[in-house]
């Protein structure tokens, strides 16, 4: 990437804390200038929560590193990227621990007294320590004999991640197509799709016979390759250049699509994922994905 390509660095704090201030923004600007960048004055997208620093003559990776050093541990996220194509026309999102707070298989484990055991398997799979498909089969097997009515009961535990409604409503209002692609199950993705306003959803299916879970997932199991394929498929079908796509997720099975998207965001992600993803949000809520695209607070709608 040419160092002179016009870029922008966005500083984003959690809206709940609004810890970002002029002093921090100007410290970052000075840090960029110290590396030879032509950095403009802060352009505030949301007071206390987000601002842009347009810059030239510095690679985005260098700008991010300089900004984080200048912030000195302040709870502020940093995203640097080219200015061109910043607003995205396709969003592909993970569901669990991304759009909703819960991991639904872990919650189902509560009904068989194995929540901690299943959650431990989930954590290892999401950090890329064990095979994802094998982890799905292992966890689902522990649910054999559970009544399918439990699926509706456990759904009542689901909570939206802060900013989820705003993210979907704002991107769709501006013409983006939004897809939910999960390694979880369609009995839940369908509900989240309708709850939040996704255009489409994809997920796995639990096998049910005579009203009870058999302990098997319907093959083939959707995994990291399936998520990447979905990103490329929807981009192709809607004639959206990959640079104009955004993907968001937290687990190892999200990483291929995060690396392929125009802007792939590791959201409060597992360490192995946050270390490799091009962009990461550790402090903000899902409205951070809007600020990263240059939306201003006045443009954000709750739907």
Query: Do 10 and 74 share a domain, yes or no?
Result: yes
The total domain count for the chain is 2
Interatomic CA distance for residues 122 and 252, integer angstroms? 11
202 by DSSP, 3-state: which?
Answer: strand
Query: Do 76 and 113 share a domain, yes or no?
Result: no
Query: Do 80 and 126 share a domain, yes or no?
Result: no
Spatial CA neighbour of 61 closest among 5, 22, 18: 5
Query: Do 36 and 78 share a domain, yes or no?
Result: yes
Last residue of a domain, one of 58, 84, 110: 84
**Domain extent for 139:** 85-303
Last residue of a domain, one of 84, 115, 146: 84
Query: Do 60 and 116 share a domain, yes or no?
Result: no
What pLDDT is recorded for position 2? Answer: 43
Strands (DSSP E) found in 119-244? 177-185, 200-204, 206-209, 212-217
Query: Do 138 and 70 share a domain, yes or no?
Result: no
What pLDDT is recorded for position 1? Answer: 41
Query: Do 103 and 127 share a domain, yes or no?
Result: yes
What token pair was written down for 244?
């104009």
Query: Do 65 and 178 share a domain, yes or no?
Result: no
Last residue of a domain, one of 84, 110, 139: 84
Name the phi and psi angles at 13, rounded to 5.
Answer: -110, 160
Digits of tens for pLDDT over the chain (303 positions)?
Answer: 444 689 999 999 998 888 899 999 999 999 999 999 999 999 999 999 999 999 999 999 999 999 999 999 999 999 999 999 999 999 999 999 999 999 999 999 999 999 999 999 999 999 999 999 999 999 999 999 999 999 999 999 999 999 999 999 999 999 999 999 999 999 999 999 999 999 999 999 999 999 999 999 999 999 999 999 999 999 999 999 999 999 999 999 999 999 999 999 999 999 999 999 999 999 999 999 999 999 999 999 987
155 by DSSP, 3-state: which?
Answer: helix
Query: Do 173 and 73 share a domain, yes or no?
Result: no
What pLDDT is recorded for position 151? Answer: 97
Query: Do 78 and 144 share a domain, yes or no?
Result: no
Residue 211: CB atoms within 10 A of its CB come to: 8
Interatomic CA distance for residues 126 and 246, integer angstroms? 20
Strands (DSSP E) found in 57-190? 76-82, 90-93, 177-185
- Return the CATH number at 211: 3.40.50.1000
On whether the CB atoms of residues 112 and 143 are closer than 8 A, the answer is yes
Interatomic CA distance for residues 266 and 248, integer angstroms? 6
- Return the CATH number at 37: 3.30.70.260
Q: Which residues contact 232 (CB under 8 A, 6 or more apart)?
A: 242, 260
What pLDDT is recorded for position 4? Answer: 66
Strands (DSSP E) found in 14-155? 38-39, 43-46, 50-56, 76-82, 90-93
Query: Do 147 and 266 share a domain, yes or no?
Result: yes
């Amino acid at each position: 990437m040419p160092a002179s390509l016009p870029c922008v660095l966005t500083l984003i704090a959690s809206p709940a804390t609004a810890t970002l201030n002029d002093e921090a923004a100007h410290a970052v600007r000075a840090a960029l200038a110290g590396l030879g960048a032509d950095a403009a004055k802060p352009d505030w997208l949301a007071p206390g929560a987000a601002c842009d620093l347009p810059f030239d003559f510095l690679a985005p990776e260098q700008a991010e590193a300089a900004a984080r050093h200048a912030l000195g541990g302040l709870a502020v996220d940093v995203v640097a990227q080219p200015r061109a194509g910043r607003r995205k026309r396709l969003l592909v999102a993970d569901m669990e621990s991304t759009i909703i707070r819960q991991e639904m298989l872990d919650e189902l484990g509560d009904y068989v007294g194995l929540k901690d055991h299943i959650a431990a398997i989930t954590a290892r799979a999401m950090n890329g320590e064990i095979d994802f498909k094998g982890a799905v089969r292992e966890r689902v097997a522990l649910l054999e004999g559970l009544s399918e009515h439990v699926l509706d009961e456990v759904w009542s535990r689901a909570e939206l991640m802060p900013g989820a409604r705003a993210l979907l409503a704002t991107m769709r209002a501006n013409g983006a197509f939004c897809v939910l692609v999960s390694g979880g199950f369609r009995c839940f993705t369908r509900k989240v799709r309708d709850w939040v306003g996704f255009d489409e959803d994809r997920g796995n299916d639990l096998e049910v016979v005579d009203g009870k879970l058999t302990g098997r997932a319907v093959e083939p199991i959707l995994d990291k390759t399936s998520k990447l394929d979905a990103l490329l498929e929807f981009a192709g079908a809607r004639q959206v250049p990959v640079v104009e796509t955004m993907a968001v997720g937290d687990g190892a099975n999200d990483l291929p699509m995060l690396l392929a998207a125009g802007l792939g965001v590791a959201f409060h992600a597992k360490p192995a994922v946050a270390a490799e993803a091009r962009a990461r949000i550790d402090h903000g809520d899902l409205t951070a994905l809007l600020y990263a695209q240059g939306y201003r607070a006045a443009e954000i709608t709750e739907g």
